[in-house]
Homo-oligomer: A and B are copies of this chain.
Amino acid sequence: DYTKLDKLIIGVCGGDGIGPMITGMAQHALEALLADKVKAGKVEFRVIDGLTIERRAELGCAIPPDVMEELKQCHVILKGPTTTPRKGDPWPNVESANVAMRKALDLFANVRPVKVPELGIDWTFYRENTEGGYAVGSQGVQIADDLFIDFTVATSQGCERIARLAFDYARKTGKNRVSCVTKANIIKTTDGKFLDTCQRVAKEYPEVEFDDWYIDIMTAKLLDEKRRRDFKVVVLPNLYGDIITDEAAEIQGGVGTAGSANIGKRYAMFEAIHGSAPRMVQEGRAQYADPSSVLRASVMLLEHIGEIELANKLDRALDICMFEEKKVVVNGRDTGATAQEFTDYVLETIAKL
């Protein structure tokens, strides 16, 4: 219970590209919303520098040890997008910092809400966040001249804790439907385990409806205007969660509009679901980056630390700006506002609520 802490420490880790700028905006909004507690010394924002691709490349590691030290001293973390090197990039092949942080802090649940009020869409994805093709050591092997293998991993514990979190959320919010998405007809052992576990856990939540889908057909169902409103809470293994939440975010208005909560037993990290957009920075357009992803992530951060009322206000203000007044820079509807102007407008909107 964070409300009982003497002082809550919120780490702000800017990351790469547009990251420092948009997380700066989220920090600005959170500082305004939590102003009383900041003044009273009950909440501290701690900016953590050094999670940059340059330093990571230099040190040859996903997360520099000093950054990891600092992260562990925070109660919750707000994180900007970080660059993951791809083939042809100037950086050596260091691991994804998101993935490394999820593993290091055992952030086993990646919660990604997506909503489009005008379409009746209100989805919350519970993506398993540490297993599947993302598991530690799962780097694959070449076992013959011409045979390459990767591994997908599942544990009962890993399946069970994400399933329970999804069902608890469905029960608590009265959403009362959980849909499990796998490819258990092909990826039989691990996805089979995931599906089995969800089916078993479902029995303990008789008031929550349960169904299951294959990932291929699910990507179609999300576009089916008649059926998609029926989905509420969706629980799925790591890779499918990665894939389908980008599709869902695009339906909401773009991957730039979706936030995500990475939740563990001890730590929690809140981030945008999109990348660091280095091109925007190179082209001098960083100030126009859409901060709504990290602001949505901030809603979840506020909820997580028990500031339910503030969370609801920020969420409501974002809904107003995004869906009613369409002030946010979403696909093809760029209003030309800078991140700063947009964030200030969100805060003004809250003041009027």
Interface residues of A (CB under 8 A from B): 84, 86-87, 96, 99, 133-134, 139-142, 146-157, 183-193, 195-196, 199, 215-217, 219-226, 239, 242-247, 249-251, 254-255, 331-332
Contact = CB atoms under 8 A, between A and B. Distances in A.
- Give how many copies assemble into the complex: 2
A131 to B, nearest CB: 9
A185 B332 contact: no
Given A148-B193, A151-B151, A152-B150, A243 B216 contact: yes
Given A133-B186, A139-B188, A150-B188, A247 B219 contact: yes
Contact of A190 (B96, B140, B243): B140
B155 A148 contact: yes
B226 A242 contact: no
A142 B244 contact: no
A71 to B, nearest CB: 22
B255 A332 contact: no
Contacts of A155: 146-148
Contacts of A147: 153, 155
Nearest to A154: B148
Given A151-B152, A216-B243, A225-B332, 17 more contacts: A87-B184, A87-B199, A96-B185, A99-B186, A133-B187, A140-B188, A140-B189, A146-B157, A148-B155, A148-B189, A149-B154, A150-B152, A152-B152, A183-B242, A215-B242, A216-B245, A224-B331
